[in-house]
A and B are shown apart, each in its own frame.
With several copies, the nearest count.
Chain A
């Protein structure tokens, strides 16, 4: 098990980045998903869509180059890459809900055995609102959850059944954590890879859902 949380987050971002294919339209949520942009494989061109109304978003500008009308969904200044487009919120979610976004990477509070994600509220504690998450999970072609495997204190986030309010009844496709890569299949949660410096026992210990474990489970193809 990776001890340093920062390295853990990096491993997650690097592993998710390997899922991106040349030409993909990609929407990254805030938090860990944002880091994915730093690890796009060589030779792969992807286009970042942000729900506030842009496709072809580039990284943060150099100091002094910030423009108040060019921001990401977190409100931070970004840049245009060549071929970038701006559009209104209805069109932005037309792209999202209409299946024109190839991959969305989102953070998670819980994912359950059925592949249902909860990531927008903790009743009585944290009610930030769903923002665009419900539309993204419902509409994107492929949904990847990028999150730490456990909460602080070691409480599993991959559970039998979500106790927190669901984001969508549409199943997510892939869960990438600092311990494992898990695919949501018709038959259940399939353990695909284990993180570096991590054992199968650790994965099972920190997962509260049943996992389908193949005979051989490879290590994530990422460097620490």
Chain B
């Protein structure tokens, strides 16, 4: 069987300029920093990044912004990274804002084979601009469409060699959702255990959606 374990360099090599990436993390907590650093080192260009936020200038996805690898972000907020706002105002970075719960469902829908979801969030606000609306039992909902990516770069606490994943506390956030929603899913893990080393009840993401595993700092 295919060995999914690769080096950071091998993982990064697969990603072309212009790729659409989903990157896990919430203000950097749960972001695969080795993969982020790998993208910067390789000098990737024109990336589109789907993520919860752009973190801080010196942390997580923020570093990709500061180093100008990104042409577009689809995120729920950018308030913690002044560089994102600066590039947006300068017109060098496109920013698409999505309510956080809607973003989570759109990513999940992409991975779960759904066309999208119907949400009350955003009805009657600027978020509804350009979107279809549907009324069910007299209540209006926005049609929010599924999101997919070329690559998902995610971070887990633990994996077995098959790619079954366990996440840690608030580092879980968007990571499990993104694992399903990309053509290629690469996970950076802190701990690699033998197959059979994780209780079947405690796996957060089944190996079926994981393509490559990169060992993190704690080997």
Contact = CB atoms under 8 A, between A and B. Distances in A.
Nearest to B195: A83
Given A69-B171, A89-B177, A132 B206 contact: no
A90 to B, nearest CB: 4
Interface residues of A, number: 60
B1 A69 contact: no
A188 interface: no
Interface in A105-133: 127-133
Contacts of A88: 104, 167, 172-177, 204
Contacts of B123: 138, 168-169
Nearest to A130: B99
Interface string B16-30: 000000000011111
A87 B206 contact: yes
A13 to B, nearest CB: 22
A84 B174 CA distance: 19
Contacts of B114: 97
Contact of A93 (B77, B105, B169): B105
A69 B170 contact: yes
A25 interface: yes
Contacts of A100: 180, 208-209
A95 B205 CA distance: 10
A7 to B, nearest CB: 27
B200 interface: yes
Contacts of A87: 172, 203, 206
B176 to A, nearest CB: 5
Given A25-B208, A69-B29, A100-B209, A86 B77 contact: no
Contact of B125 (A68, A128, A169): A169
B77 A83 contact: no
B108 A90 contact: yes
Given A45-B1, A165-B125, A168-B124, A97 B119 contact: yes
Given A70-B169, A130-B97, A98 B52 contact: no
A55 B207 contact: yes
Contact of B160 (A83, A101, A169): A83
Contacts of A91: 206
A169 B88 CA distance: 28
A59 interface: no
Interface in B135-168: 157, 160-162, 164, 167-168
B43 interface: no
A93 B100 contact: yes
B219 interface: no
B26 A82 contact: no
B26 A130 contact: no
Contacts of B95: 127
B169 A131 contact: no
Contact of B2 (A23, A73, A84, A165): A23
A170 B3 CA distance: 33
Interface in B161-215: 161-162, 164, 167-177, 180, 195-196, 198, 200-201, 203-204, 206-209
A83 B100 CA distance: 25
Nearest to B140: A169
B218 interface: no
A82 B160 CA distance: 10
Contacts of B176: 88
Contact of A129 (B77, B119, B173): B77
Given A99-B113, A100-B208, A86 B126 contact: no
B206 A55 contact: yes
A207 interface: no
A170 B123 CA distance: 9
Nearest to B81: A128
B76 interface: yes
Interface of B: 1-2, 26-30, 52-53, 56, 75-80, 85, 88, 95, 97, 99-105, 108, 111-114, 119-127, 157, 160-162, 164, 167-177, 180, 195-196, 198, 200-201, 203-204, 206-209
